[in-house]
Structures are given as C-alpha cells and as structure tokens.
Amino acid sequence: MMKTAMEKLVVVGAGITGASSAALLKKILPDGAVVKILDKSRGTGGRMSTSRCSNGKSATVDLGAQYISINLHYAKVHQSIHEELISQGLLKASTCVMEGDKFGGEDILHYVAPAGISSLVKHFVKQAGAEVAYEEHVTKVDIENKKVKLTTLKGQEELCDGVILTMPVPQILQLDGSIRQLIDSQPKVKENLENVSYSMRFAVGLFYDPGVTLSYPWAVKYFRDNPCVCYIAIDDKKRGTESDSVGPSVVIHTSVPFGMKHLEEDKDSVKDIIMKHVKELLPDIPEPAEVKGHKWRYSQIHKSYVNEPGCVVLSQTPPIILAGDAFSHSNLDGCLTSSSSVRDAFINCTGLDQPTNRL
C-alpha cells in the first residue's frame, strides 16, 4: 500500500480517548507532522475533569471519573501503560476506605490519581506533543480534495489530512457537512450510531477552607437507597493528599434515575435539591466556602455501538475515524482499547508503518 501524505492530524475531543489516540498516532506519523486537538470546553479532561475552587485555598475535586478500576484481563492487556502511569506517580493503588463499593471484586484493583483524574489526560496530551485549542466547538466536517475541513461554531476552519472524532455519538450525528452524506451512505453504521445511548447525572463539588475537618470514617461512600445521591467522596482523602495548608473537597454524584428525571434542567437549578439530600444523609456536614455544579449530559455508556469495535472508519481517504467509549466501554481501559483500535485503523487507512512499541 502506498503511504498517504500525513502532515496534519486533528483530534476532536480532549478527553482520555482523544488524548491517548493522539499519543499513539504521534508515534507513527512522519517527522514534522502536526497533531492538533480541538475541544469545545475550557480545559483538558472531558469526563475525566478536575475542578479547582476560585480562591485556590481548597483541594481540587474530580467531578467526573473518580478512580481507576482495573481487572486482571486489562492488567495484562494494558500492562505497559498502567506501569508507566504508576511509575510517574500519576496513578497509585487506593488504600482509602470505600463503603458500599459497587465495583469491587477479587479480580479488580482500584487506583487513584493524586494530582486529579485530569492529570492522566494531560499526560497523553504531552506525549503527543499536541497543540490544544479550547472553546472550539466543531460543527461541520467536510471532505475537500482528499483533505478534511473542520468548521467551528466561531467560524474557524482547520484543514487536515485526517481526523479522529471522539465526542459523544449524538454530537457526531448533529454535525453538518459531507460527514452527513458519509453516514447516510452507510445505513447499518447510521443505525448502530443512532442506537447508542448514554446515562445522565449531575455532580456537585464542595470546597472548604483550610482548617475545616470532615470527620467521616470513609473517603468514598455509595448510597443505594437515596432517590437523588448515589455517591459521595472526600476527594483529598480519597487520593491520600490531605494537607493542613489546603482545605478539603467533596464530590457528590447523583443517581442515573435522578439525572434522567431532571434531564432538561440546568446544573444550578438542581444544585439546591442535591444539597438538600446531602444534608439529610450527612446532617453534620459543614457549610462549604464554595459550591460548583456540573451536568453530565453524556455520563456513561448505557448502550454501546454493536459488538464494541473500538472505533468506526467512516472514510479511508482521507481518514475520518469515530472513537470513544461508545465503541468500547466507559472506563480508562475501554478508552485505551478504543485508542488502540484507532491506531490500527489509521495504519490500515494510510499505510504508515506500524510501531514496534504497542500499547
């Protein structure tokens, strides 16, 4: 196969799949090739986001993914990447008390991210040497003269030799441009994309000033019977990073049924309802210095793309590849599986050499 010229690759989505795909593809791209990541948010992480309080006096809080659970299968499959993250201090084995753990088991080990869960995504972005452009919402994808042209909500245009789209599937289906014809021309692919569904939930972060003590015997607790709250964590305690000079932080996640019930409401209108339930569950919890709410419209995969292929190639020339947990499953290893599939599909599309150091 003749190699395809590949001077610029764009990844849409600065979450873990986008970042790890960029890192893997950088290894096989020609010297001098540019990797650029576009994201509509204001920071790196996607659903692995870490939030900071406005005054900097409190610990950061993970509003999305909370910790990394690795089973024996993926401990072998992704051993090298796990070891890399652990050796660099980005992951460490969890030693905190988890009450009502829903994801435990003899074959599962939990890991925490001491610097916040978004540090994992930032690690891959750095590996990729990628330029990241924030607050760039891609709305249109076209093919012009064997190149891909991306147009953002601001009217910015990016011309590239290939694109990896890692945003949630409903957002892919909303894109304008020739990508619509590509999807329409593949009825089975379109049907499978339309059948993908996500759960939805709200999250709330509580930030406290230094000197405040949260006297609970656990760092993480699941609540099975509450109509609103399903999970509360003292984030700095969960990570093992408590400090006298920095105030503690707490994260609350709602249940999926609560999220679906309040689907059309915004994060601020629901925040007071959530806090009411928190105070019923933890009557002695101190008043926080700051409260941040977040709405995860696409929290976790409820129904994945059929057979979980890892990625879907919409176009080979130029490469347009769909990826993310929708094509695998919603955890770190699901996203790494997707990015490995992207790498293999990209090699097949372009004829670029396969790297010797596989994920």
Residues 139 and 241 in one domain: no
Q: Which of 296, 323, 342 is where one domain is finished?
A: 296
Residues 158 and 290 in one domain: no
Residues 225 and 108 in one domain: yes
- pLDDT tens across 67-90, in order? 999 999 999 999 999 999 999 999
Residue 1 in domain: no
Residues 106 and 206 in one domain: yes
Residues 285 and 207 in one domain: yes
Calculate what percentage of the chain has a pLDDT beyond 70: 96
Residues 279 and 248 in one domain: yes
pTM of this structure: 0.94
Q: What is the mean pLDDT of the chain?
A: 94
pLDDT of 132 over the 80 cut: yes
Q: Which of 312, 354, 309, 335 is nearest to 18 (CA)?
A: 335
d(CA 342, CA 317): 15
Residue 126 in domain: no
- pLDDT tens across 210-262, in order? 999 999 999 999 999 999 999 999 999 999 999 999 999 999 999 999 999 99
Residues 26 and 163 in one domain: yes
pLDDT of 164 over the 80 cut: yes
Q: What is the pLDDT of residue 2?
A: 40
Q: What is the pLDDT of residue 146?
A: 92
pLDDT of 358 over the 50 cut: no
Mean pLDDT of 23-49: 95
Q: What is the pLDDT of residue 357?
A: 43
Mean pLDDT of 293-300: 94
Domain harbouring 178, CATH code: 3.50.50.60
Residues 149 and 65 in one domain: no
Residue 61 in domain: yes
Question: What domain count does the chain have?
Answer: 2
Domain harbouring 109, CATH code: 3.90.660.10
pLDDT of 179 over the 80 cut: yes
d(CA 221, CA 251): 11
Residues 156 and 232 in one domain: no
Q: What is the pLDDT of residue 101?
A: 79
Residues 279 and 209 in one domain: yes
Mean pLDDT of 15-31: 96
Residue 247 in domain: yes
- All residues at 6 or more sequence positions from 339 whose CB lies less than 8 Å from its CB, including other chains: 17, 20, 21, 23, 24, 323, 359
Residues 24 and 173 in one domain: yes
Residues 289 and 229 in one domain: yes
Q: What is the pLDDT of residue 56?
A: 85
Mean pLDDT of 45-72: 93
Residue 97 in domain: yes
Q: What is the pLDDT of residue 4?
A: 59
pLDDT of 338 over the 70 cut: yes
Q: What is the pLDDT of residue 354?
A: 54
Residue 166 in domain: yes
The boundaries of the domain holding residue 345 are 8-42+134-196+305-350
Residue 162 in domain: yes
Q: Which of 256, 276, 296 is where one domain is finished?
A: 296
- Between residues 352 and 34, the one the model is more confident about: 34
pLDDT of 356 over the 80 cut: no
Residue 51 in domain: no
**Residue 294: pLDDT band with limits 50, 70, 90:** very high
Calculate what percentage of the chain has a pLDDT beyond 90: 91
pLDDT of 1 over the 50 cut: no
Q: What is the pLDDT of residue 104?
A: 65
